[in-house]
Amino acid sequence: MTSSSSFFTMIKRRRNFDLLLLLAVFVWGVMTWSLFCWVHNGRRGSLPRIRRNYVADYMLKDEYRIAPGREARAKQRGNVENIAVNARGISLDNTGVRVKKRGKEDPHNASVVLRGDWPPNPIPNEPDFDVLRRLFSIANAGDKGEKFSIDKDKLPPEELKKYRDAYRKNAMNEYVSNIIGVRRKLKDTRVTGCAERYSSAGLPQTSIIICFVNEAWSTLLRLVHSIHDNTPPHLVKEVILVDDGSSWDFLGKPLDAYMTRFPKVQIVRARRGLGLMVARTLGYNYTTAPVITFLDSHCECFPGWLEPLLTPLATNPKVVTTPCIDVINKDDFSISNGQEVMVGVVEFPSLQFGWRSQPPREKKRRKNNLEHVRSPTMAGGLFSITREYFDYLGGFDPGMKIWGGENIEMSFKIWMCGGRIETPICSRVGHVFHSHNSYMGIRQGSYIASAANNARLAEVWMDDYKKYYQGCCDMTGRKFYSPGDVSERRKLRERLACKPFSWYIENVMPEVALPGDGLYSGELRNEAFHNMCLDMMTTKEWNQPAMYGCHGQGKAQLFDLTDLGEIVANNRCLTRAHGGVYIQKCNWATKEHVWEYKDKLIKGHSNCLTVNSTLHVVMEKCSGKTSQKWTWNYHRPRRKTVLRIEEM
C-alpha cells in the first residue's frame, strides 16, 4: 500500500514538473518574441506613427521593409548625428557605438572627389580617379553648374568600358556625373529682386519626399547634398527617401551608412516595386510637417529654391506650387537656366503632359516679372502642397498603377476643386531628363498601366470631354480602355463639389486645342485638288506636310484653327520658316505659328498657304488662285477668354 502511494506521488510530482516546464517554455517564447519585436522596430516598442489614409494595413505588413528614422533613436542615446541602419532596419553597430563619417566635409562647399564620397566597396562603373587625374583636369569639375566633359577616346580600355556601360545602364552620362562628385556649389541664377522678395521667417516646415528606383549613386546623393546646402535648416522637418524596390546593392546598406551624416534623412524601403504613386503615398505616411514637397531623385536644388514654394502656402492652403525646372544636360551635366517660365498643359487626344511658353492671356495677367505664373497642369514630380489640401483632395488615386497620369489627375482636381497651381519664378530646381523613363524601362506592364491611369482620370474628371481620349494601344496595336472601378473617386469628386470639366477648359486652359473643337476644324481641303486633304504625314519636327488622299479617319488629317490662330493636328503646329511650311511643337511664343483665315485664304504676314507642284504646302504671295483656297468642315464662335499674341 505504501509502495503504491509513493508511485502515485511520484507521478503527480512529474506531472507538476511537466506543467512547470511547459509554462517556462511559454514564458521564454513570449519574452523572445517581445525582444525580437523590440529590436526589429528600432527599440522603440512599436512601429513609427503611420498615417494610413490611403495605404491599407496589410500592405504595410506584407509589402514593406522599413529602415526606421534615425533621429528619434539617436535622441534616446544622446547621439543626434550618427546612427546607421541597414536594409532591414537594424543598427549597423549593434552595440550602439557611433559610426564614424567617411570622407571630409568641404568648408567652401566646392566640388570634392574623395574616396569618402563612395560606398565601402566600389560601385559598378566607378571611375579610377588616379587614371583620370593623369589624363584630365578634374578639379572642381562641374562647379557652379558649368558643363564638364571628357574625351572618351583618351580613356584606357577598362575605363572606356565603364563609360559606355554607365551610360547604357542609366540613360545618362553617369561616368561624368561620378567625376563631378556628389556635391557641387551652384551659382544663384535667380532674377533681380528674388533674394529681397522672400524670407524664411514665419514659413511652415515641409517634409520632402524623394522616391527612387535604381538611381545612380552620384545623382541621388547630389540631390540630398543640394537640399542640405541650399535650404534653411529650420524649414525642413524631414527628408524621406523611398526606395521603390531597387535591385542595386549599393543603394542598400552603403546608402544607409552614407545617410547617417544627415540626421533628418529617413529611408523607407519597399520589398518589391510598388509603382510611383504607391511609393509616394508610402513616403507621405511617414511625414509630419504641415507642408509636403515632392522631388524627383535626379534633381539639384538652387539657392533660395524652397522659400518661394512655401510662401504662398502660408496664407492660402489651396495653392500648390511648382519650381521652375531647369534642364541638367544628361551628357555634360551643365544646367540651363531659362528665364522664360514655361507652363504645363495637357495634350489631346493622348492626355500626355507637355511644356509650353506662357499664353498671351497669362502674360497680360502678370503685372511684373516677379509675379507667380499660373499653370494649367504640373509635371508632377516636383511640387509643394499643404497636408490639409492633399488630404482634402484624397491624395493620389490608389487605383492608378506604376507610373503615368497621376500628375494630370492631380492638376485637374486642384483647379476644379477650389485650388490653383502656381510657379514662383524665384524657385529653381535642376532636373536630369534621361533618355528613357526609369519606371517605363524597369517595371513590366508600365505601358498598359499608364494607359489605364489615363482612362481613370478621363472617367472621373473629364465628363463629356472624355470622348477626346480614345484609349491607347498595347504593344500589338490593340486598342483598350480599362479604367477599372472608379466609383470611390467619383464619390470623392461629388463630395468635394468640384466644378465641371467644361469650366476647366474655358477658364484654365482655353488655349489648348481640342481635336475637332477649333474655330475652324475638320479636313483641310484645297480647291485645286479634289478628293485630297492636307496631311501632317508625320509628327517629326521640321518635316513638311503635304496633300494626301482623304481617308476620313481624322488624326493627321484633322486640323484645327485655334482661338490663338494656330493650325494644329496631332499636337503639332504648322509653322512658317525659310519660305516653307514645317511641323513644329506649338509653343505660344512666336508669331510664326499664327495664321489668319479669311475669304478661304490662310494668311501668314503678307503671304498665303499654297499647294505647289509636289503637293507640298509653301508660302507664296497672296493672289487668290485656287491652289491658295482652303475649306474646313466646321466653324464655331471664338472663345472670349483667349487672347491672341497681336492683341496684347
- pLDDT value at residue 29: 74
- Per-residue pLDDT tens for 355-374? 988 988 899 999 998 999 99
Q: Please give the Cα distance from 461 to 496 (Å, whole number).
A: 12
Residue 28: inside a domain: no
Are the C-beta atoms of residues 423 and 321 closer than 8 Å to each other?
yes
Write the DSSP assignment of 187-199 as a string of letters. ---PPTTHHHH--
Write the DSSP assignment of 569-630 as a string of letters. ETTEEEEEETTEEEEEE--SS-GGG--EEETTEEEETTEEEEE-TTSBEEEEE----GGGBE
Residue 287: inside a domain: no
Are the C-beta atoms of residues 378 and 410 closer than 8 Å to each other?
yes
Give the three-class secondary structure for 8: helix
- pLDDT value at residue 344: 93
Write the DSSP assignment of 343-356 as a string of letters. EEEEETTTTEEEEE
Q: Please give the Cα distance from 94 to 39 (Å, whole number).
A: 10
- pLDDT value at residue 554: 79
Q: Please give the Cα distance from 422 to 362 (Å, whole number).
A: 12
Q: Residue 482: what residue type?
A: S
Q: Please give the Cα distance from 111 to 141 (Å, whole number).
A: 7
User: Look-up: residue for cell 556628389?
Assistant: 182
**Assigned C-alpha cell, 351:** 492626355
The whole-model pTM stands at: 0.80
Q: Residue 28: what residue type?
A: W
CA-based nearest residue to 536, from 559, 565, 513:
559
Q: How far is CA 563 from CA 187, 348, 455, 525, in A?
A: 41, 16, 27, 20
**What sections of 418-483 are H helices per DSSP?**
438-442, 446-461
Candidate ranges 308-312, 571-575, 639-643; pick with highest mean pLDDT: 308-312
Q: Residue 181: what residue type?
A: G
Domain hosting 150: range is 115-180
Q: Residue 35: what residue type?
A: L
457: pLDDT strictly greater than 50: yes
Write the DSSP assignment of 475-510 as a string of letters. TTS-EE------HHHHHHHHHHTPPPHHHHHHHT-T
Q: Please give the Cα distance from 427 to 416 (Å, whole number).
A: 25
Q: Please give the Cα distance from 21 to 425 (Å, whole number).
A: 73
pLDDT grade for 96, boundaries at 50, 70 and 90: very low
Domain of 553: which CATH number?
2.80.10.50
Give the DSSP letter of residue 105: -
Are the C-beta atoms of residues 562 and 519 closer than 8 Å to each other?
yes
Residue 50: inside a domain: no
Q: How far is CA 357 from CA 151, 152, 202, 344, 539, in A?
A: 36, 37, 33, 9, 20
**Chain mean position to CA 306:** 17
Number of domains into which the chain is organized: 2
- pLDDT value at residue 547: 93
Residue 36: inside a domain: no
Q: Where are any strands of DSSP class E within 236-337?
A: 236-243, 265-270, 291-295, 299-301, 319-321, 324-328, 335-336
Give the three-class secondary structure for 525: strand
Residue 542: inside a domain: yes
Q: Where are any strands of DSSP class E within 265-399?
A: 265-270, 291-295, 299-301, 319-321, 324-328, 335-336, 343-347, 352-356, 373-374, 383-386
- pLDDT value at residue 300: 96
Residue 635: inside a domain: yes
- Per-residue pLDDT tens for 526-551? 999 988 999 988 878 888 899 999 98
Give the DSSP letter of residue 131: H
In what helix (H) or strand (E) does residue 311 lie, and over which residues does it extend?
Answer: helix 307-315
Q: Please give the Cα distance from 368 to 358 (Å, whole number).
A: 14
Q: How far is CA 42 from CA 79, 93, 95, 129, 350, in A?
A: 15, 13, 13, 38, 47
**Assigned C-alpha cell, 160:** 572606356
Among the three residues 126, 147, 180, which one is the final residue of a domain in this structure? 180
Among the three residues 180, 202, 228, which one is the final residue of a domain in this structure? 180
Residue 445: inside a domain: no
pLDDT grade for 159, boundaries at 50, 70 and 90: very high
- The pair phi, psi for residue 603, each rounded to 5°, is -105, 145
CA-based nearest residue to 215, from 188, 242, 190, 234:
242
- Per-residue pLDDT tens for 403-456? 788 999 999 999 999 999 999 999 999 999 886 555 555 666 677 888 889 999
- pLDDT value at residue 386: 97
Q: Please give the Cα distance from 547 to 35 (Å, whole number).
A: 78
86: pLDDT strictly greater than 70: no
Torsion over CA: 217, 219, 222, 223 (sign): negative
- The pair phi, psi for residue 306, each rounded to 5°, is -90, -40
Of the chain, the percentage scoring pLDDT greater than 90 comes to 51
Q: How far is CA 354 from CA 283, 433, 494, in A?
A: 27, 14, 29
CA-based nearest residue to 131, from 161, 104, 108, 102:
161
Cβ density class 322-343: b for 16+ within 10 Å, e for less: bbbbbebbbebbbbebeeebbb
CB count within 10 Å of CB 482 equals 12
Q: Please give the Cα distance from 299 to 433 (Å, whole number).
A: 9
Q: Please give the Cα distance from 379 to 342 (Å, whole number).
A: 11
Give the three-class secondary structure for 309: helix
- Per-residue pLDDT tens for 242-291? 999 888 889 998 999 899 999 999 999 987 788 888 899 999 999 999 99
CA-based nearest residue to 475, from 453, 445, 455:
445
Among the three residues 139, 158, 180, which one is the final residue of a domain in this structure? 180
- pLDDT value at residue 98: 27
Give the DSSP letter of residue 384: E
Which residues have CB under 8 Å from 551's CB, separation 6+? 533, 557
Residue 283: inside a domain: no
Q: How far is CA 427 from CA 234, 244, 379, in A?
A: 18, 28, 15
**Of 67-76, 255-264, 345-354, 599-608, minimum mean pLDDT range:** 67-76
Give the DSSP letter of residue 41: T
